[in-house]
Structure 1
Amino acid sequence: MNAPHAAAPVRPHLARRLGAELLGTALLLTVVVGSGIAASTLSPDDVGLQLLENSTATALGLAVLILMFGPVSGAHFNPVVTLADAALGARRGTGLPLRDVLPYLAAQVAGAIAGTVLANVMFEVPTQIATTERATGGRLIGEIVATAGLVFLIVALARSGRGAVTAAAVGAYIGAAYWFTSSTSFANPAVTIGRMFSDTFAGITPGSAPLFILMQMIGGAIGLAVVVLLYPDASRRARDIVVPTSVNATL
């Protein structure tokens, strides 16, 4: 007699996952933009200290948000991560279903804009289009490096079953990448779009955003290619990016 097959993992309902992605991405942008505004207010004459304050808040905030929302949606908060998840598991059916990709992206972008507006409101600054130009050659290369490293990190952690340290590792990586990349590591198209709506320390002009997003997509593809090269069986764990969302069917 053949052994019974194990029950297929069940994800939370799509509406719940989209709600988690929207709220999580919104809070991420509130952390990024809000801490940037606070930093420029508290340390107006020291850009290095501003960056330290902004990066520390972002690293800690991101780690906490992954812990909060990861069990529901996977805590992607990032279109590049969502696309990497779907692409990596497409052949085996282990990644995010393709039908869920566009809703995830829409929730992330909407959340990013909402979170930026919330930060502006809290600090009583106007919500207006940013004027900070960032699309220089070196910064664009920086976005490729930052995003490639992020994708490689999260897939490597998933593939090796180290999901317990994902929140801390991703937060630490983004905090470090603020400093070791020339772009201060946006590494996220939704974050890039959201930051267009705050003309503050964290802002980016709409003229710079498309190139940043293009470099992020290229970086994501490079990171995924390196993963496939070094971990050819990584697709088996695609559903564990960033945080596993499999739950009992009763949830």
Structure 2
Amino acid sequence: MTRVLVVDDEPQIVRALVINLKARGYQVDSAQDGATALELAGAHRPDVVILDLGLPDGDGVEVIRALRSWTRVPVLVLSARHSSDEKVQALDAGADDYVTKPFGMDELLARLRAAVRRAEPVAGTGEESIVEAPGFTVDLGAKRVRRNGADVRLTPTEWHLLEVLVRHDGRLVGQKQLLQEVWGPSYGTETNYLRVYMAQLRRKLESDPAQPRHFITEPGRGYRFERTPTRR
């Protein structure tokens, strides 16, 4: 059974989420502040976190950063903050998706299901399982990345984006295709998600993130993975 941690200081929102999630078979824990949320996450190891950014004891972005220091659990932000900069800040801290208040329950639940799916292992497809590039190795079967002999920790969303690009080795993957394959069919215009997560992959895997040689941007079109570094 999937376990969800709901973190919000608005009792009516927590109550609505708990009722709807339990009605659909989820186990639910709830917290009204960041400190309690981190305690519950450590004790109960949820499968997904729904997190408000405006918490009484601090900014939810700090909670995301604290979670990302030890877990890959999907984090779905639920916030009244609408600005693009605030969305990017949350995504850059390690959030997997961002839903603004007020929200539709059906949409939120669909996004939650998508976040959980991204974190699940996928069956093999018969394709090449291990992809080696200079400096790092991607094991598609084990969902594992190693760089210079050490494991690289990726969030489920970072991994899924990497997986899609690697499976299209050398081929352009359009922005809309990437968004829909990684986040789900209802996405197609949230290009800031791609910019944030591509920057994170480059920081973790490129020798010079400012001059990427493996994760190439085709402006206005999409992105391409090059196993063999492109010439500069």
Measured against the shorter chain, the TM-score band is under 0.3
More strand by share: 2
More helix by share: 1
TM-score for both structures, normalised by structure 1? 0.24
TM-score for both structures, normalised by structure 2? 0.26
